[in-house]
Amino acid sequence: MITVDQIRFTYDGRITLDDITFRAEPGSTVGLIGPNGSGKSTLLRLIYRALRPAAGSVVIDHKPVDQLRGRELAGRLAVVAQEAAPDTPVTVAETVLLGRSPWVGAFQGYSRADRIAAATALEHVGARALAERRFATLSGGERQRVLIARALAQRADHLLLDEPTNHLDIRYQHELLSLVRGLTATTTIVVLHELNLAARYCDRLVLLDGGRVAAAGTVAEVLTPDILEPVYGIPVRRTSAFGAIQLLFGPADEPAVPMSGDTAATAQTTLPALDRSNDDQQRRGDVPRSDRAPASPTSRTANAPTAGEHEIARADSPSPDPREAATR
């Protein structure tokens, strides 16, 4: 479990994060979402101790993160941050083995178990074939998968990921987040820009806006047009597809218009709009209004009316994903 309690942080005296409080329950996947510059990466860096807060605390299970040292920290927390690739002759296999280095004694080499752990992690991310390649020669997406393999090889029980789907093609985005979601013994906080991926693979979401928590709760509670439109400043419509909530976005400063084209026609004629009052009820659920900070001074206000939501009909759509309901 990761507990973030009343975190405040300033860059050069400018308040960047203020009064950030939320909890990632054991084994859950929590998505950190929000517009550019809202403070997502800074918050992640505070959680993994690359930055120190001006106030507040981060606690991993029952221990403040600033009291975790060496192997204990490595056993608790693995991180995939945004980082430049070193231009060195290090291979992919060696890069992933670095995830095992906290467990290697001062004058020991990697053990067979370490090499198996690294190979298994590479296999998990579909990158086993890259093992002998130089890391610096990989494409952006290949590098991203290898960095995730390195974090998996570390076998920590908490995982922090900063935009892990960057550079990945659509299939690997889904495969990777599905893999992360499947790590049921690992508590994960993941920064995501793609809200539809967040909808499908996160148990709960924390929406940042101007350095404050604009909303926190389940996917159904946070991903509503009412909440998202003022934060992102564009019209939002909510639908569902393939068993998960999915969002459609209109251009900024344009009123929301009915969907057009074949898909829209299908959506509007074959399935009725979902009852918005449902959504309102869910929003009133376990996220008290007081948990949501008032809109920050930087919040934009969409001039678009809030659109209703529709279930997109597909003959081959599976029944609603049971994981959606099972908040871990």
Choosing from 13, 36, 318, 325, the residue that interacts with ligand ATP (CB under 6 A) is 36
What would the DSSP string read from start to end of 96-139? HHGGGGGGS-TT----HHHHHHHHHHHHHTT-GGGTTSBGGGS-
CB of 65 to ligand ATP, least distance (A): 18
CB of 77 to ligand ATP, least distance (A): 19
Alpha-carbon distance values, 268 to 111, 259, 260, 315 (Å): 60, 9, 10, 15
Under 8 Å between Cβ of 68 and 60: yes
Q: Is 20 helix (H, G, I), strand (E, B) or coil?
A: strand
Strands 63-64 and 55-60: antiparallel
Say which residue the tokens 């309690």 belong to: 5
- Select the span of 8-16, 150-158, 215-223, 296-304 touching ligand ATP (CB under 6 A): 8-16
34 binds ligand ATP (CB under 6 A): yes
Distance from C-alpha of 69 to C-alpha of 55, rounded to nearest angstrom? 21
- Select the span of 33-41, 97-105, 128-136, 221-229 touching ligand ATP (CB under 6 A): 33-41
Choosing from 2, 4, 7, 16, the residue that interacts with ligand ATP (CB under 6 A) is 16
242 binds ligand ATP (CB under 6 A): no
Closer to ligand ATP at the Cβ: 12 or 316? Answer: 12
165 binds ligand ATP (CB under 6 A): no
Distance from C-alpha of 127 to C-alpha of 119, rounded to nearest angstrom? 9
Query: 166-205: which residues touch ligand ATP (CB under 6 A)?
Result: none
Query: 83-142: which residues touch ligand ATP (CB under 6 A)?
Result: none
Closer to ligand ATP at the Cβ: 96 or 213? Answer: 213
Number of residues that bind ligand ATP (CB under 6 A): 11
Closer to ligand ATP at the Cβ: 209 or 279? Answer: 209
Distance from C-alpha of 201 to C-alpha of 182, rounded to nearest angstrom? 9
Choosing from 28, 29, 38, 154, the residue that interacts with ligand ATP (CB under 6 A) is 38
Distance from C-alpha of 172 to C-alpha of 165, rounded to nearest angstrom? 8
Closer to ligand ATP at the Cβ: 31 or 39? Answer: 39
11 binds ligand ATP (CB under 6 A): yes
27 binds ligand ATP (CB under 6 A): no
Distance from C-alpha of 208 to C-alpha of 212, rounded to nearest angstrom? 5
42 binds ligand ATP (CB under 6 A): yes
Radius of gyration for the chain, computed over Cα atoms and rounded to the nearest angstrom? 21
Interacting residue ranges for ligand ATP, rule: CB under 6 A: 11-12, 16, 34, 36-42
